[in-house]
Amino acid sequence: RAAAAAAARYGHVIFSGTVHEPALQLAEAMLDSVGQGWASRAFFSDDGSTAVEVALKMAFRKFLADRGATDWEVDDGPELGVLGLQGAYHGDTLGAMDCVAPSPFNGRRQTPWYAGRGLFLDPPTLALRGGAWAGAGQPAPLPDLAAVFAPRPEAVAAHRAAIAAALDAHDAAAGAHLAARPAPPALAACLLEPVVQGSGGMRLVDPAFQRALAAEARARGIPLVLDEVFTGLWRLGAPSGAALLGLDPDVACYGKLLTGGLVPLALTLASEPVFEAFKGESKLDALLHGHSYTAHPTGCAAALAALAAYASPALNPNAGALAGAAARRLPLTLWGEAAAAELSRLPGVAGVTTLGTLLAVELGGGGGGYASDAAAGVVAALRRHGVFARPLGPVVYLMVTPMTGAGEVDRLLAAMKLALADAGTGAGPC
């Protein structure tokens, strides 16, 4: 109803140099919620990929401005790149693709223009294995989500030392290449999907590693960009991935759940210092980025209604639990920790990842990447039980909305157990 009213009231508005009420209200709502404490500016675009491209432009400008650049036209500094993670995904536009390591989505088979620009670290991930959160490099399994997200200062310190060494090696290589081309790029943005890498396989990156990486990037003056397109707005049972990690980024991107799935819209939030880096004598100093449908009123109205619905106890049966977990800064899964742990003990299940609305099951011995067909049998079996799911290589995942009630979650969980049994993973019905 809100979207229809906005469509009737505004139709299309060219946003350059103007503003309209739904956009203003949405910017304020986002700054007062996920942007609270760090962001003061909102930049609208159309979809997650463009939100990321805007974020990169912001971070790069801030990086250069911090290093004294003022005449952008004659800047002849090094190529700029991102500090990112293996397994990341930031969208399918050309710039967003260049921000990730070679993958099935961006290699020359998909786009001959691809050039991975940056340093991509291999992050430690955690999944429920045999009932506890475990991962390579994790000395002892962690019993529950609260332990996974606990501060764990020793783990942060160990990760930080390893990250610092990798960055020092990158910088040294860049120094050694001064005369030669191509030199490794200067790392001008630390770009992360906070907490969970979505399209990369629903991988929960160890929070201690991301906290360490953010701290090291900060210490080196590399702007922190959080791509919350997938993770933001209650997807992970918290207002944002940043809130789960206790991080204040310089720039963050939102899309997907922003409009409750009705229409595409995206938003990039930025801190005041990032905004300041675009101030100048000339109009040409501004962030000259716009789309035909920037801040489309229908999308803004839908987003305002969606954000209100997520938080409304009258409309959302999970509102109380989500708000309670957010207030106590505790992780929450709508699937139930015990149920997820039980799934992870089934034969044929290599690991389970759950947080907020997400339940992901990795089959077989894992491996094989996106090309793997290991999940195909379970996906087909789920379909026979009336559930349509998309595999990501060996991973099959179910995702509810932040407003899905316990009854529907239980139905989906039962279907997943039956499908695992049907597909002959060795898991019996339980």
Ligand X SMILES: Cc1ncc(COP(=O)(O)O)c(C=O)c1O
**CB 6, CB 262: distance < 8 Å:** no
Find the shortest distance in angstroms from Cβ 317 to ligand X.
Answer: 26
Find the shortest distance in angstroms from Cβ 376 to ligand X.
Answer: 21
The answer to whether 87 contacts ligand X (rule: CB under 6 A) is: no
In order, the DSSP letters of 163-215 are HHHHHHHHHHHHHHTTTSSSPPPEEEEEEE--SEETTTTSEEE-HHHHHHHHH
The answer to whether 90 contacts ligand X (rule: CB under 6 A) is: yes
Find the shortest distance in angstroms from Cβ 232 to ligand X.
Answer: 9
> How far is residue 421's CA from residue 427's CA, in Å, rounded to a whole number?
5
The two tokens of residue 296 are: 């489309």
Q: Which is nearer to ligand X, 198 or 348 (CB)?
A: 198
The answer to whether 255 contacts ligand X (rule: CB under 6 A) is: yes
SS3 335: coil
Find the shortest distance in angstroms from Cβ 227 to ligand X.
Answer: 5
Q: Which is nearer to ligand X, 193 or 216 (CB)?
A: 193
End-to-end alpha-carbon separation of the chain, Å?
43
Of 45, 103, 106, 199, the one binding ligand X by CB under 6 A: 199
Question: 118 - beta bridge partners?
Answer: 82
The two tokens of residue 122 are: 């291999």
Question: 266 - beta bridge partners?
Answer: 45
**CB 86, CB 125: distance < 8 Å:** no
> How far is residue 125's CA from residue 193's CA, in Å, rounded to a whole number?
13
Q: Which is nearer to ligand X, 187 or 229 (CB)?
A: 229
Of 53, 193, 250, 422, the one binding ligand X by CB under 6 A: 193
Find the shortest distance in angstroms from Cβ 91 to ligand X.
Answer: 3
Binding segment toward ligand X, per CB under 6 A, in 46-54, 62-70, 115-123, 349-357: 46-54
Of 43, 44, 63, 89, the one binding ligand X by CB under 6 A: 89
The answer to whether 91 contacts ligand X (rule: CB under 6 A) is: yes
Binding segment toward ligand X, per CB under 6 A, in 74-82, 222-230, 241-249, 306-314: 222-230
Please enumerate in sequence order all residues whose Cβ is within 8 A of that of 136, keeping only pairs 6 or more positions apart, or say none.
124, 125
Beta strand 349-355 with 358-363 is antiparallel
The answer to whether 230 contacts ligand X (rule: CB under 6 A) is: yes
Specify the residue for token string 């997943």: 416
The answer to whether 49 contacts ligand X (rule: CB under 6 A) is: yes
Alpha helix positions (H), 198-328: 207-219, 241-245, 272-276, 297-311, 319-327
Reading phi first (left if > 0) and then psi (alpha if -120 to 50, else beta), residue 283 is in alpha
The two tokens of residue 161 are: 């030392």
Residue 365-404 contact track with ligand X, rule CB under 6 A, x = bound: ----------------------------------------
Of 227, 250, 362, 422, the one binding ligand X by CB under 6 A: 227
The answer to whether 48 contacts ligand X (rule: CB under 6 A) is: yes
Find the shortest distance in angstroms from Cβ 417 to ligand X.
Answer: 27
**CB 222, CB 249: distance < 8 Å:** no
Of 47, 206, 216, 362, the one binding ligand X by CB under 6 A: 47
The two tokens of residue 426 are: 């060795």
Find the shortest distance in angstroms from Cβ 230 to ligand X.
Answer: 4
Q: Residues interacting with ligand X, by CB under 6 A?
A: 47-49, 52, 89-91, 193, 198-199, 227, 229-230, 255
